[in-house]
């Protein structure tokens, strides 16, 4: 499987009573496909998998596959504390038609590098699907380091990594020393730096509500190799990235962004709580401004291209 492009970890829309809005979930899948993303992740942090029952997690995989109908890849998160549970989620994902699985460190356990590698390899042996690693020590408490990558390199299934540590040295190490593992941005406020260092894609929570703007940065940097344009787009996106990465309300902000876009979202599940009125107003302003700015950048480039065509034909 080729990991390249924009892969939103899809939100889980909820009804007022916090039950899953299955029709809303299907609508979100269709929305992302229509906007042109390259893949969808079910069971990511943005989808609130940690607040779902096992039955709900598996049901969402089945529903996603039914809606996608092979139009783009489906990646399924198998995060849990016990290795056995991760394997169970992985096997359920495979049975449900997943194209790949997302594997992170077992949270709270804080394994050594050897223990973490043995965990990941056990999941790989049992499930045997392409793996997108997910390094997020801020949430799991464990960093994936060189020893880990050297050990899991025994299997070709470890194909890509969503790197979310925020450590620029980790980015450099992965880009230089492990080029066979496709690098995916997982730290939104460092997206431009990831693309400069050769990342081929972006796993972006805000891709749920702003897929066009995220695709614009991906196209500029990866497809057009135009980092001047990319820097302009990233500059427009940064106020949102600061809200998401530094505001302490990541999932809530993305869900409210979906509401602003007219998409089904609903409340977050406990223990999280929604945004305050002031936080909503701030986010509305940030999103409105960035959408206008990115649109002007992209429209300006289109006008320039059209002008060049006219000049050549004159």
Provide φ and ψ at 76, rounded to 5°.
-120, 125
DSSP assignment letter at 153: T
Calpha distance 129→179 (Å, rounded): 20
CA distances from 152 to 112, 124, 160, 183, 184 (A): 14, 9, 12, 16, 18
Calpha distance 123→92 (Å, rounded): 12
Label residue 262 left, alpha or beta by phi (over 0 means left) and psi (-120 to 50 means alpha). Answer: left
Calpha distance 262→12 (Å, rounded): 15
CA distances from 115 to 8, 85, 123, 154 (A): 29, 16, 13, 15
Q: Could you give the strand order of the β-sheet that contains 100-104, starting from the edge strand earlier in sequence?
A: 5-6, 201-202, 182-185, 158-163, 131-135, 100-104, 74-77, 40-42
The answer to whether the CB of 80 falls within 8 A of the CB of 104 is no
Catalytic residue numbers read 134, 162
3-state SS class at 201: strand
Q: Tokens at residue 276, please?
A: 């305050």
The answer to whether the CB of 92 falls within 8 A of the CB of 61 is yes
């Amino acid at each position: 499987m080729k990991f390249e492009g924009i892969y939103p970890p899809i939100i889980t829309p909820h009804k007022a009573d916090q039950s899953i809005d299955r029709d809303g979930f299907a609508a979100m899948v269709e929305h992302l496909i229509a906007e042109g993303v390259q893949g969808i992740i079910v069971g990511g942090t943005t989808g609130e998998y940690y607040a779902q029952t096992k039955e709900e997690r598996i049901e969402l995989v089945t529903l996603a596959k039914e809606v996608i109908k092979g139009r783009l890849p489906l990646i399924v998160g198998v995060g849990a504390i016990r290795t056995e549970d991760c394997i169970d989620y992985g096997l359920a994902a495979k049975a449900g038609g997943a194209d790949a699985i997302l594997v992170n460190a077992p949270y709270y356990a804080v394994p050594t590098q050897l223990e973490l590698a043995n965990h990941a390899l056990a999941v790989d042996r049992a499930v045997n699907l392409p793996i997108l690693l997910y390094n997020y020590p801020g949430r799991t408490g464990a960093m994936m380091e060189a020893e880990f990558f050297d050990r899991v390199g025994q299997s070709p299934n470890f194909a890509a990594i969503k790197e979310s540590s925020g450590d620029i040295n980790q980015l450099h190490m992965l880009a230089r020393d492990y080029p066979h593992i496709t690098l995916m941005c997982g730290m939104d406020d460092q997206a431009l730096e990831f693309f400069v260092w050769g990342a081929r894609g972006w796993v972006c929570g805000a891709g749920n509500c702003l897929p066009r703007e995220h695709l614009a940065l991906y196209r500029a940097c990866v497809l057009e190799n135009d980092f001047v344009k990319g820097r302009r787009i990233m500059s427009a996106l940064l106020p949102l990235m600061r809200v998401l990465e530094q505001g302490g309300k990541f999932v809530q902000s993305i869900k409210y962004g979906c509401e602003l876009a007219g998409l089904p979202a609903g409340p977050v599940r406990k223990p999280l709580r929604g945004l305050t009125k002031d936080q909503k107003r701030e986010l509305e302003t940030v999103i409105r401004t960035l959408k206008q700015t990115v649109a002007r950048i992209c429209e300006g480039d289109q006008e320039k291209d059209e002008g060049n065509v006219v000049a050549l034909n004159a």
